[in-house]
Structure 1
Amino acid sequence: MKASLEARLTAALNELDAVKKELAALETAAQQANGTDPIPARWDGTVILPEHPNGDSDGQTIICCIADDDTKRPIGLFLDEDHREALGLLLVDRDGDATEYGIRISDVKVLASGTLTDRSEQTQRLARYRDSWPDAVLVQRKVTYGEWTDATEPS
């Protein structure tokens, strides 16, 4: 019986510690939300355009992010057309070139997924892929971005 009580007490103390940690994270988030400290966030890879069925009715693009803290709460960056274009121009190289990364698993097969321009992300993928393909290597290519053209007209 004593062992059972000790086990229950240990479990209760562990649960209390977990609740304290969660409360501390929420207090930190509340301080950030009420203060002037920026909320660190990471893009989750999702962009919702205004024309999407779940898009913003005001015609804004939504960049979906996740708070880079203990809360991991969702954050939406809303951009109107002008701000979307301005941000896009800042993010791509002025000459329109970018480097994309992939994982070569054979002489001819390259796996490309995730954020192709994020070398760090692709290096992490490489480490996971080497469990299945020990000879996998990180590869890169230069790509050039051009103006968008109307795809409804044959070229």
Structure 2
Amino acid sequence: MKKFILFLIVTTQLAGATIAWERDAALRQEPSQAPAATEFPKVATLLSADEPRSNELLFNNEHISVSSIYPNPASTSAAIRYRFTGGLRDAKIVLCNVLGNVVGEYRLSRETRDMTELHITTSSLASGVYFYTLSLDGRNVVTRKLIVRHPS
């Protein structure tokens, strides 16, 4: 009897929440021995995108630690927490629309080694998808998505 193992993870975004589905294994067996269809999918992870997750790191190395933007989606403002530990001349966040046009550029202050919070006003931005990029000493190191959603 041949057994085929199928491992499938599907991640989808639904109503502001990320749901990861996991299907452990499906075995090609006699119909009477096959797992019931009601066993799958099992919810593996449920993370609300509306909850602040300031401890989720966007980037971390020996010079700087930067959190992901929160809340995401944002309506009036969003924030990024960061801490410099030295060794960098310049750090900034560049916010672009889906066409790649820069809609905001925010320098990260190096004046303190304490955890600092950068606030980005999103109330003046149109609802939609934006991308924010962390740039260190002129090099783009990571880009992530920011959703701006204003109440109707």
TM-score exceeds 0.5: no
Which of structures 1 and 2 has the bigger CA Rg? 1
Please indicate the TM-score interval, normalised by the length of the shorter structure.
under 0.3
Per residue, is there more helix in 1 or in 2?
1
TM-score by length of 1: 0.23
TM-score by length of 2: 0.24
Per residue, is there more strand in 1 or in 2?
2
